[in-house]
Structure 1
Amino acid sequence: MLGKVLVAYGTTNGSTARIAEAVADVLNKEGLTAEALPARSVGSVEAYDAVVVGGGLYAGRWHRGARRFVRRHGRALAGRPLWFFSSGPLDASASERDIPPVPGVRRAMTRLHAKEHITFGGCLEEGAKGRIAQMIVRNGKGGDFRDFERIEEWALRISEEMRNC
């Protein structure tokens, strides 16, 4: 059984960070040792048996911090169990159907032999950073579309796979 898991994330307004923390919480409750960290703050993945990487989606691309993390640590990630998640749709679509990874994430999955990718709904609320984000909220298109029950179910699947390694 593998035991130490890094949940690295790229986020602008904190929505993806909260998802990463929920994943780490479930993994810890399941007996693993997991920590959620901003992707930009991770110097090495050598101390971890497995890695989960998440990024918010912005204009069809993963958050820059998640993209850079995957590039910077690619060689080490390729040798570990690896899962990806994205967050972003500002509607219920992510809970209603499988949303495939954006092209850049799909290429990274193939290159690094990631086990799985899942897309969760995003959250954009009053006080969001960025001109476009503020405009979206002002026009009534924001809200919190994260489905924490679905997030926890996915984290449980990861913990089961980890136990079987």
Structure 2
Amino acid sequence: MGKKVLVAYGTTNGSTERIAEEVAGVLRTEGLTAEALAARSVTDLDPYDAVLVGGALYAGRWHRDARRFVRRHRAALIGRPVWFFSSGPLDATASERDIPPVPGVKRAMATLDVNDHVTFGGCLSDGAKGRMARMILRSGKGGDFRDFAAVKSWATEVAEQIRGAPRS
């Protein structure tokens, strides 16, 4: 059986969940056992050989569930292969250039010796929760800027690295 991988995510309106599910699907296609779970629902990392954590970006911060996941599981993440991803820009910038991690994510990456971080475009569509989301939509700045070809490419690279990584 292949290595077992957790893709934990923090999302409010489901956009980051969809990216996490796509990543887990690619990992499975690449011969790994992978599951995407809401970060707040994960209680134990012992079954996993590697962990990917994704969070939606809101006002320059990672989703609170992703931040809390990293804090709660810090000890279990240290020494395990870990990757981070963010989703959020509501424009094409994530497809045009590398977007560095926001400061809180950058600090967590250094503490945990995270292998990589990538930022994908976000998605905000009608019916989104939250006052700020509704304001953005009213201003006409919503839309779907997720690039699933880029998600698949990144997930394939991560799978190659995981297959080569020893279990902690």
- Residue of structure 1 equivalent to 2:154: 154
SS of match in other structure, 1:34: strand
TM-score (norm 2): 0.96
- Residue of structure 1 equivalent to 2:101: 101
Q: Deviations over 1:16-48 (max 9, x none)?
A: 000000000000011100000000000011110
- Residue of structure 2 equivalent to 1:39: 39
Tell whether the 8 Å contact from 2:2 to 2:33 is kept in structure 1 after alignment. Answer: no
Q: Deviations over 1:67-92 (max 9, x none)?
A: 00000000110121000000000000
* Structure 1 unaligned residues grouped into runs of 5+: none
1:2–1:32 distance in 2 versus 1, CA, 3 Å: closer
Tell whether the 8 Å contact from 1:86 to 1:120 is kept in structure 2 after alignment. Answer: yes
- Residue of structure 2 equivalent to 1:140: 140
- Aligned AA (2:32): L
- Residue of structure 1 equivalent to 2:4: 4
Tell whether the 8 Å contact from 2:124 to 2:144 is kept in structure 1 after alignment. Answer: yes
* Structure 2 unaligned residues grouped into runs of 5+: none
After superposing on structure 2, the runs of 4+ consecutive aligned residues of structure 1 that deviate more than 2 Å are: none
* In 2, Cα distance between equivalents of 1:100 and 1:2: 31
C-alpha displacement of 1:138: 1.4
Identity of aligned residues (%): 71
Aligned length: 165
1:15 aligns with 2:15: yes
* In 1, Cα distance between equivalents of 2:24 and 2:33: 8
1:82 aligns with 2:55: no
1:49 aligns with 2:49: yes
Tell whether the 8 Å contact from 2:2 to 2:31 is kept in structure 1 after alignment. Answer: no
TM-score (norm 1): 0.98
* In 2, Cα distance between equivalents of 1:87 and 1:2: 28
Tell whether the 8 Å contact from 1:7 to 1:54 is kept in structure 2 after alignment. Answer: yes
* In 2, Cα distance between equivalents of 1:71 and 1:81: 16
Tell whether the 8 Å contact from 1:10 to 1:39 is kept in structure 2 after alignment. Answer: yes
* In 2, Cα distance between equivalents of 1:120 and 1:47: 28
